[in-house]
Amino acid sequence: MRNETNASEDRTLGIVPSAPWRVHEVRPVDSYRLYVKLMDESEGFVDLSELITSDKAGVFTALRDPHLFKSVYLDHGAVTWPGSLDLAPDAMYEIIKDKGEWVVR
């Protein structure tokens, strides 16, 4: 009988994501902005103010609550908030490296 594993069940403790586009540090700053530091030591800002305050904010409308916005944390290298809200780190990587700030619209 063959031993099969499911990748979602096969989790190895102690593994730290190390792809250069993964976020290593995040902290809220002012006006719906975040400071981020990536695994390759690149650093910059993510400005979510236009998205969060727009009519097209969708699920990100919840982040208008300053307490929720400030509860940002990292989950496997992705910027995350309670309620399954997150930002893809690979999407911000190139812009942060190139311009130092990603303005999300």
Over residues 26-42, the mean pLDDT reads 96
SS3 69: helix
The reply to whether CATH 2.40.30.10 applies to domain 23-103 is no
- Could you read off the pLDDT of 39-87 as tens digits, one per residue? 999 999 999 999 999 999 999 999 999 999 999 999 988 999 999 999 9
- Could you read off the pLDDT of 5-23 as tens digits, one per residue? 332 233 335 555 567 778 9
Tell me the pTM. Answer: 0.80
